[in-house]
Amino acid sequence: MIPLEALELFVIDLPLVHPFRTSFGEERVRRVLLVSVAGEGAVGWGECVASSGPWYSYETVGTAFHVIRDFIVPLLRGARLEHPRDFPALVAPIRGHPMAKAAVEAAIWDLFCRLRGMPLWKEIGGVREEVLSGVSIGLQDSIPELLARVREFVGRGYPRVKLKVKPGWDISVLEAVREEFPEIELQVDANCAYRPGDPALPEFDRFGLLLVEQPFHYEDLLEHARLARTLSTPVCLDESITSPHRAREALELGACSVINIKQGRVGGLTAAVEIHDLARERGIPVWCGGMLETGVGRALNVALATLPNFSLPNDISATDRYFREDIAHPPFALTSRGTIPVPEGPGIGVEVDGERLRREAAATARFGLRR
């Protein structure tokens, strides 16, 4: 049985090296909720991927704090978990709030693996010691500024670039990028910004893109299925895939031919692995998305992306692309092969700077879990 003695929550603000702008807003500081679970002298860590506001999803750092404190902790008190995979059933009575659940599940996976001295990626059946990296570049004020950003990241060795797009910031941008970089692996992410019938959509096929990510509303599987039938560029879903159930529906409908997996968005690592397996059975490639995580969340993403069907480059970039000083150590660095090496240590393989966390946290809370 997993020894669950105490759970702690920490909210900390980490300034981003560069503001990150998408079709739903801009982040300059990453407000992060970290979760630790302690037992038998070990501590496991998880990061909640919710943002400060309900823009990417309805969850926020505040709602996740509330759901963990008032609903997940009471369920966890005195709970008998043999394995982290038993956690989703324990919290199933709570509807929704996948990011809050995922953060606690992540801390339990880390604790479980640390107690066994086992790296997490091996525990879940990972098959590689480095994962393919890619970089996601936010919306910029002008095309010259965007080209400078692409130049910078291509120069650093990123083998794949993802551009944020929206109506009015799409075709002319792609023309300019393709003119300077005819060969790079390129993909676009609209974060739900288009309406069906937008004249830019068929134009995406001119640019040799790896995929187009989440063009339409997050609830709209049908329009994605229609688009997927007419576009030769693969359609990939991000925001729409909130659970294994939803992934099965999307694949059944033909709404996508690629899935971006984010463990937080789908309710945890167990669900993420389930979606990976489901896609694999159907010959659908997956890749790991990112949520501007600290090293805690990034380490979990790296572990997840060692699974065999993570066959496209991931939104897993080096630490210095996000933060000057991460809360977890050591930082992640890009290799000359355009990959991020998988840490070797037990659990997620990184250590959290607990002293700094206690010193700088905007809010903390501690809960005993023994009955």
Q: Catalog residues that contact ligand OSB under the rule CB under 6 A.
A: 56, 136, 189, 191, 238, 289-292, 315, 317
Choose the contact partner of 61 out of Mg ion, ligand OSB, none; CB within 5 to 8 A by kind: none
CA distance 223 to 249: 14
Catalytic residue among 101, 162, 164, 166: 164
Closest to ligand OSB by CB, 60 or 191: 191
Residue 164 annotated among the catalytic residues of the structure: yes
Closest to ligand OSB by CB, 87 or 287: 287
The angle subtended at Cα 47 by Cα 135 and Cα 238, nearest 5°, is: 50
> Is the bond preceding residue 330 a cis peptide, omega within 30 degrees?
yes
Choose the contact partner of 292 out of ligand OSB, Mg ion, none; CB within 5 to 8 A by kind: ligand OSB
Q: Is 370 left (phi over 0), alpha (psi -120 to 50) or beta?
A: beta
Q: Which residue is nearest to Mg ion (CB)?
A: 238
Shortest distance in whole angstroms from residue 134 CB to Mg ion = 12
Residue 166 annotated among the catalytic residues of the structure: no
Closest to Mg ion by CB, 129 or 219: 219
Catalytic residue among 101, 162, 166, 262: 262
Closest to ligand OSB by CB, 207 or 323: 323
For 172-216, give the DSSP string. HHHHHHHHH-SSSEEEEE-TT---TT-THHHHGGGG--S-EE--S
| Paired tokens of 255 | 């709404």
Shortest distance in whole angstroms from residue 282 CB to ligand OSB = 23
Shortest distance in whole angstroms from residue 318 CB to Mg ion = 19
Shortest distance in whole angstroms from residue 260 CB to Mg ion = 6
For 254-315, give the DSSP string. T--SEEEE-TTTTTSHHHHHHHHHHHHHTT--EEE---S--HHHHHHHHHHTTSTTB-S--S
The Cβ of residue 29 has, within 10 Å, a number of other Cβ atoms equal to 11
CA distance 243 to 245: 5
Closest to Mg ion by CB, 123 or 238: 238
Helix (H, G, I), strand (E, B), or coil: what is residue 253? helix
Shortest distance in whole angstroms from residue 25 CB to Mg ion = 13
Choose the contact partner of 317 out of Mg ion, ligand OSB, none; CB within 5 to 8 A by kind: ligand OSB
Binding site for Mg ion (CB under 5 A): 189, 213, 238
Q: How far is CA 84 from the centre of its chain?
A: 19
Question: Which active-site residues does the annotation give?
Answer: 164, 262
